[in-house]
Amino acid sequence: MNDALPAENAGLISRISAMQVNAPPRLPREKASALVSYYFDRKDRYLQALATQPAPVYLLDSQRLRHRAVQFKNAFQSRLPELSFYYAVKSNNHPGVAGILLEEGFGLDVSSGLELEMALGLGAGDIVFSGPGKTDQELRLAARHRDRVVVLIDSFGELQRLDTIAAALNTTIRCGVRLTVDPNGLWRKFGIDISMLPHFLEKAGNSGHVRVQGLQFHSSWNLSPDPQTAFIRKLARVLADLAEPFRSQIEFIDIGGGYWPEQGEWLQFAGTPQGAVEKSLGEQVRADNGYYCYPAAAIDDFGQQISETVEACIMPLCRCRICLEPGRWICNDAMHLLISVVDEKAADLVITDAGTNAVGWERFETDYCPVLNLTRPALEERPCYILGSLCTPHDVWGFAYWGAAIHPGDTLMIPNQGAYTYSLRQQFIKPLPAVVTI
């Protein structure tokens, strides 16, 4: 028998070994317990919401949302001279969320004509319109509201189309240009390569109805400020080489969003590199192998490091306004789901009245979110399959619950479901939960 591994298998083994080395650390139990305690201490407030609207419901916690907005602004306002804050509507497109943040002094960052219509309907006076593939109809809508909307142009083709649309309306549109943070792979979808910025500004300067005033970039899933500060330094090198007339027209630089909430990314074993390998090899991935966490920086660390990099690298070249577009960080902790147990099929298996169509995807097979039994609270997590009522085995809320016991009629809370869940909800088999603002 030949024991030698084929070259491709040897490479696979090497990569799997690297995954083991780079595995996320275990989630400390005290960190999970602290979050659970926070919500159990407020359980009466949450349960009162069911007096007017039975479960399942989304709870929009207006106090928490306002607190997060103030906390985010405070992380930057004492460090940079001129700032604008824009809430990324795509992260949670409920009008009540955007409305509260408008009251807190935020503008709105929209990524479609649908979101733009909502922002205009809410009376927003400061809107940035980003995203690839804007249609002519969407660009016309922005142009008709040019006093309230800045268009972040995504490509040379979009520049040409917007100039034509603005010319037909006999007007001039305020714009920025989006720069891609990665010229390779799928991120090429967004913006233009930074090396093409001088050519873009020259072409925009020859367009009679488009006035470029700023630059924007965005990186996602930032567990630390490092990706943002690295691109700021890269941008500074390009700005240093720009001709002065181009540099002087830059009135704002938009750093985008992507700030990860400070609790970090919590994972089931199936969401780790090891779990993914086991699944790819056809293994049954265990649900009782503990939880894992990629830690995230505090927002004050983001504020300090980004501000220091901007002051050191950008401001000597271009004294401009800095724009920030938080989404997930603002709304993640401000919306929760309340669902009910409707069937107890075994001591370790219950069915709820809501399915994961309420959050739009099968996230809890890989992500870990504590399931809290508000009816029978206890700081002990007990193994149990908590499954939804959709006709699919992937309808999973979790593999354990925090509580003393679990029975039909109990109210369960899935906390911190404000970001990229409500916006992704889908009409599939079961009706969608109503929204109750508390």
Pull the structure tokens for residue 244. 């002065």
304 with 357, same domain? no
What does pLDDT average to over the chain? 94
**Residue 47 has what pLDDT?**
97
Count up the domains in the chain and report the number.
2
Domain contains 14 = no
**Domain encompassing residue 131:** 63-330
180 with 282, same domain? yes
**Residue 1 has what pLDDT?**
43
pLDDT exceeds cutoff 50 at 2: no
274 with 415, same domain? no
Contact between 383 and 346 (Cβ < 8 Å): no
Given 330, 359, 385, the domain boundary residue is 330
354 with 324, same domain? no
Contact between 232 and 217 (Cβ < 8 Å): no
- Please give the share of the chain, as a percent, with pLDDT higher than 90: 89
Given 330, 360, 381, the domain boundary residue is 330
263 with 364, same domain? no
Q: What is the rounded distance in angstroms from the CA atom of residue 276 to the CA atom of residue 288?
A: 15
Dihedrals phi, psi of 70, to nearest 5 degrees = -65, -40
Q: What is the rounded distance in angstroms from the CA atom of residue 79 to the CA atom of residue 34?
A: 31
Contact between 271 and 19 (Cβ < 8 Å): no
Mean pLDDT of all residues in 331-360? 97
346 with 304, same domain? no
Q: Coil, helix or strand for 375?
A: coil
Rounding to the nearest 10 degrees, give the CA dihedral for residues 160, 165, 170, 175.
-60
Strands 335-346 and 57-60: antiparallel
pLDDT digits (tens, 9 = 90+) for 395-421: 999 999 999 999 999 999 999 999 999
125 with 33, same domain? no
Q: Coil, helix or strand for 307?
A: helix
pLDDT digits (tens, 9 = 90+) for 254-302: 999 999 999 999 999 999 988 888 888 777 777 777 899 999 999 999 9
pLDDT digits (tens, 9 = 90+) for 210-237: 999 999 999 999 999 999 999 999 999 9
129 with 276, same domain? yes
401 with 309, same domain? no
pTM above 0.85, yes or no: yes
Dihedrals phi, psi of 108, to nearest 5 degrees = -125, 135
Q: Coil, helix or strand for 351?
A: strand
Name residue, tokens 């006093």.
Answer: 147
Dihedrals phi, psi of 320, to nearest 5 degrees = -135, 170
301 with 177, same domain? yes
278 with 358, same domain? no
